[in-house]
Amino acid sequence: MPLTRKAYRAAILHSIADPAEVGIEASYEYFEDGLLVVENGRISALGHASELLAGLPAGVQVEHFPDALITPGFIDTHIHLPQTGMVGAYGEQLLDWLNTYTFPCESQFADPDHANEVADIFIKELLRNGTTTALVFGSVHPQSVNAFFAAAEKLDLRMIAGKVMMDRNAPDYLTDTAESGYQESKALIERWHGKGRLHYAVTPRFAPTSTPEQLTLAGQLLTEYPDLYMQTHISENLQEIQWVKELFPERKGYLDVYDHYQLLGERSVFAHGVHLCDDECARLAETGSAVAFCPTSNFFLGSGLFNLPMAEKHKLNVGLGTDVGGGTSFSLLQTLNEAYKVMQLQGARLSPFKSLYLATLGGARALRLEDKIGTLHPGTDADFLVLDYHATPLLSYRLKQANSIAETLFVLMTLGDDRTVLQTFAAGQQVHQR
């Protein structure tokens, strides 16, 4: 294959460590006039334009964005493909919301044509919003995952997804059985896991919708294949937690249900965790599990406020999730806008550099992919964004008053959304242009 090499000149910023561990100043690298060199889908160099331009071989094209910021692509650690058509459904909290809106909407994925149509819309929406990697729930139907992976493969995206396993406490038209859920998941794993940049996630919806037999088989799948992911929901809503207590009276608590069925581990991501206790955070951290913090969803469904300082105290891996359709935006910038408010309501701060970390390197660490995505370090996948300082008149005017990259970054996260994302690149290829 011929060598393809291209360079991008702009202000460039990436997170290189967790501010909670190293302090804010050591957590990022910023090049006011930077250069990012991409070769065959990977980043080959990053630095000051003044230093790198001279050494660039003759003929390498340099694209210049004088009024833009290059960052790594965003990582969404929790989102539902089959809920694309029901974002912003009025009035209910979690359990009624599932029955009233979610299950009927997901049932449409019994039709493969519908699954293909929505997978295209969904992937375009991710890329329009600068999300280059997502951990995705399908519906109970295998075709939801086939449609998603087929569309992601065409663009060589790094994506993780799984078919929902759900064999009780849901309508008949939307349930599998312990055995069929296991077999269908296995077939999807054989077909997609490790193909290109795709990975499979074993996906029991949440404890109330799986029998002990199904949870046992989910755990078994994780032992049968290396490097599989596991995704589910936990401790999102108080009624949900009460229900889990009733369904599993023999277990110490919600997390202990998943622990018992051996679903904790380094590639396990638990969505929400709004009401986790200290001991549960400690156990999640000890097993290397991660939590997806989903602020727009937690506000929208009235679930509660995620305690990020408690997670930090336990050195628990935390990524950011949009949780569309419980969440109200595909934009991780808008998700950070709401995350900031979650902290404000608890008397805490969320610095713009911690926010950048959560949307990029923190998400990559939650997914154990930090050697491939989440930063702009040479050797990693060229998944990156060009964010436009003039995306809207207000953003343009507001940024004129910004005196530091910290302030610029914070304003991007407060006023920014899909309009801010001028271009999205995946494996070095442009996959979105506004």
Positions touching ligand GUN (CB under 6 A) are 80, 94, 98, 102, 205-206, 233, 236, 297, 323, 326
Distance CA 116, CA 59 (A): 41
* 18-to-67, 127, 195, 270, 311 alpha-carbon distances in Å: 27, 25, 30, 20, 13
Residue 18 or 323: which CB sits closer to Zn ion?
Answer: 323
Residue 94 or 152: which CB sits closer to ligand GUN?
Answer: 94
74 contact choice in ligand GUN, Zn ion, none (CB below 5 to 8 Å, kind-dependent): none
Q: How far is the CB of 168 from ligand GUN (least distance, A)?
A: 13
Residue 232 or 408: which CB sits closer to ligand GUN?
Answer: 232
* DSSP codes of every residue in 214-274: HHHHHHHHHHHSTT-EEEEEES--HHHHHHHHHH-TTSSSHHHHHHHTT--STTEEEEE-T
Count of positions (residues) in the chain: 434
259 contact choice in Zn ion, ligand GUN, none (CB below 5 to 8 Å, kind-dependent): none
Distance CA 119, CA 220 (A): 29
Residue 297 or 375: which CB sits closer to Zn ion?
Answer: 297
Q: How far is the CB of 239 from ligand GUN (least distance, A)?
A: 11
Residue 43 or 201: which CB sits closer to ligand GUN?
Answer: 201
Q: How far is the CB of 330 from Zn ion (least distance, A)?
A: 14
Find tokens 């507001």 and name the residue.
Answer: 398
**Residues 262-301: x/- map of binding to Zn ion (CB under 5 A)?**
---------x------------------------------
Residues ≥6 apart with Cβ < 8 Å to 164: 106, 137, 138, 139, 140, 203, 204, 205
Q: How far is the CB of 203 from Zn ion (least distance, A)?
A: 10
Which of 414, 384, 417 has its CA nearest to residue 399? 414
Q: How far is the CB of 328 from ligand GUN (least distance, A)?
A: 12
Distance CA 154, CA 335 (A): 28
What number of other Cβ atoms are within 10 A of residue 69's Cβ?
23
Q: Are strands 61-72 and 42-48 parallel, antiparallel or unpaired?
A: unpaired
Residue 297 or 420: which CB sits closer to ligand GUN?
Answer: 297
Q: How far is the CB of 381 from ligand GUN (least distance, A)?
A: 29
Q: How far is the CB of 263 from ligand GUN (least distance, A)?
A: 15
Residue 219 or 273: which CB sits closer to Zn ion?
Answer: 273
Query: Using the rule CB under 5 A, which residue among 106, 323, 338, 383 binds Zn ion?
Result: 323
Report the DSSP beta bridge partners of residue 367: none
Three-state DSSP state, 280? helix
205 contact choice in Zn ion, ligand GUN, none (CB below 5 to 8 Å, kind-dependent): ligand GUN
Strand (E) or helix (H) holding 7: strand 5-15
210 contact choice in Zn ion, ligand GUN, none (CB below 5 to 8 Å, kind-dependent): none
Residues in contact with Zn ion by the rule CB under 5 A: 271, 323
